């Protein structure tokens, strides 16, 4: 708006989408595949009769935690920085583990809604429309509350926007 661009929100959304869809498409597909694999694993463990092996549970939990810690940094950088996917992934891992406390809390609060929904099944199915409507945005908001500070400190996004 300061540059006299059109002031409606869809203009910015469309502009950023067109700028970033190539860089974010493959990681987004891999992200979705990982999330669906995790859902399949945990549903199979809970309801599908898959034998519960402690090593499988630990591996699933650790991979989900690391994913939750690294992915917000990755997708924030895709939209703001013009680098290759491998370099952004390296940056994300380094930023995540150098700010491990904030990354862990971001992953915890970002996934809290989903874990609570699954733990209280089938009683939580009554909240499914509400979870579908606001669950994704609420979980990312809770995550970004924790991970935004290190990203902004490193890249000065707020200062550039001002």
Which residues, other chains included, contact 3 with Cβ-Cβ below 8 Å and sequence gap of 6+? Answer: none
Distance CA(95)–CA(69), nearest Å, equals 10
The mean per-residue pLDDT over the stretch 64-79 comes to: 84
Asked if residue 62 belongs to a domain, the reply is yes
Asked if residue 51 belongs to a domain, the reply is yes
Asked if residue 2 belongs to a domain, the reply is no
Q: What is the pLDDT of residues 102-156, one digit of tens each?
A: 999 988 888 887 777 777 877 888 888 888 788 778 888 888 888 888 888 887 7
Using the structure block, give the residue that is written with the tokens 């707020």: 158
Asked if residue 18 belongs to a domain, the reply is yes
Distances (CA, A) of 134 to 45, 47, 161: 27, 26, 27
Ramachandran quadrant class, 156 (left: phi over 0; alpha: psi -120 to 50; beta: rest):
left
| Packing angle, helices 54-80 and 85-98, rounded to 10 | 110
Query: Is-contact 70 96, C-beta < 8 A?
Result: yes
What pTM was computed for the model? 0.67
Q: How many other CB atoms are there within 10 angstroms of residue 154's CB atom?
A: 15
In total, how many domains does the chain have? 1
Asked if residue 4 belongs to a domain, the reply is no
Query: Is-contact 77 88, C-beta < 8 A?
Result: yes
Mapping DSSP to helix (H, G, I), strand (E, B) and coil, where does residue 8 land? Answer: coil
Query: Is-contact 75 24, C-beta < 8 A?
Result: yes
Q: Residue 134 belongs to what domain range?
A: 9-161
Q: What is the pLDDT of residues 36-71, one digit of tens each?
A: 787 777 777 777 776 777 887 788 888 888 888 888
**pLDDT grade for 7, boundaries at 50, 70 and 90:** low
Write down how long the chain is: 162
Asked if residue 3 belongs to a domain, the reply is no
């Amino acid at each position: 708006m300061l540059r006299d661009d059109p002031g409606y929100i869809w203009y910015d959304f469309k502009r950023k989408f067109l700028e970033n869809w190539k860089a974010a498409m493959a990681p987004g597909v891999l992200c979705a595949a990982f999330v669906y694999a995790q859902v399949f694993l945990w549903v199979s463990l809970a309801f599908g009769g898959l034998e519960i092996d402690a090593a499988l549970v630990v591996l699933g939990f650790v991979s989900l935690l690391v994913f939750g810690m690294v992915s917000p940094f990755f997708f924030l950088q895709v939209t703001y920085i013009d680098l290759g996917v491998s370099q952004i992934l390296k940056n994300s891992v380094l930023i995540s583990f150098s700010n491990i406390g904030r990354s862990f809390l971001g992953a915890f609060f970002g996934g809290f809604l989903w874990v609570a929904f699954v733990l209280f099944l089938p009683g939580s199915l009554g909240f499914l429309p509400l979870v579908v409507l606001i669950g994704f945005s609420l979980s990312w908001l809770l995550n970004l509350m924790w991970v935004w500070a290190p990203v902004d400190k490193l890249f000065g996004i707020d200062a550039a926007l001002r």
